[in-house]
Chains A and B, each alone.
Chain A
Amino acid sequence: DTGVSQDPRHKITKRGQNVTFRCDPISEHNRLYWYRQTLGQGPEFLTYFQNEAQLEKSRLLSDRFSAERPKGSFSTLEIQRTEQGDSAMYLCASSSQLAGDGEQFFGPGTRLTVL
């Protein structure tokens, strides 16, 4: 296992379309996080899972956003009816609740452009 992977790396879509991103965490990690990052800003928390349970969602996350982690392994983030303001880098991270220093391991991100 070489780290967190995300697919696709880039996505260009038209306003109003739905998009779905996938994240594959490090296999032994039970926690998975989604963040969004815009230019010049730090990553902003969206939601996180412990195993298959979604434990927290940001209040900034509109109803158009939904995330799943059906078997406690990979996760998907779906954005419905995309808006231009959704354009950002979407980052996934994973961590082990029991091991290490609490660091999170980030994937390369999915860059979304909404036209």
Chain B
Amino acid sequence: SQKIEQNSEALNIQEGKTATLTCNYTNYSPAYLQWYRQDPGRGPVFLLLIRENEKEKRKERLKVTFDTTLKQSLFHITASQPADSATYLCALEDDKLIFGTGTRLQVFP
């Protein structure tokens, strides 16, 4: 069955550092992968989409890479801020979205 894995442990980093989150998947060949941010008690919010033929995509302080050979996507937040603290979800699309469990990021001053 399709499986998407994200680090279940929270990631704690200091303000100003780069946060790197990992998403690995198996038994799937997605055309593209999406990243969402979710704050407690709220619905996910779309951040970035990367297609299988794209190695890297950037949006402001965010960068996503996609390695279809390794079946892995990395999500980077540069110059992190306490306001970046949230849970970050990766999702593969097959008409509907198949989500990973999410990684909680905590940025402390």
Contacts and interface: CB of A to CB of B under 8 A. Distances in A.
Given A101-B49, A102-B49, A108 B89 contact: no
B43 A42 contact: no
A103 B95 contact: no
B7 to A, nearest CB: 13
Interface string B8-35: 1000000000000000000000001010
A45 interface: yes
Given A106-B45, A109-B43, A41 B95 contact: no
Nearest to A109: B43
Contacts of B49: 101-103
A48 interface: yes
A55 B45 CA distance: 24
Nearest to B90: A42
A65 interface: no
Given A102-B32, A109-B42, A42 B89 contact: yes
Contacts of A109: 41-43
B95 A56 contact: yes
B44 A106 contact: yes
B28 to A, nearest CB: 14
Interface in A69-110: 91, 93, 101-109
A21 interface: no
16 contacts: A33-B96, A35-B99, A40-B8, A42-B91, A44-B99, A45-B98, A48-B96, A93-B43, A93-B97, A102-B32, A102-B49, A104-B97, A105-B46, A108-B41, A109-B41, A109-B43
Interface of A: 4, 33, 35, 40-45, 48, 55-56, 91, 93, 101-109, 111
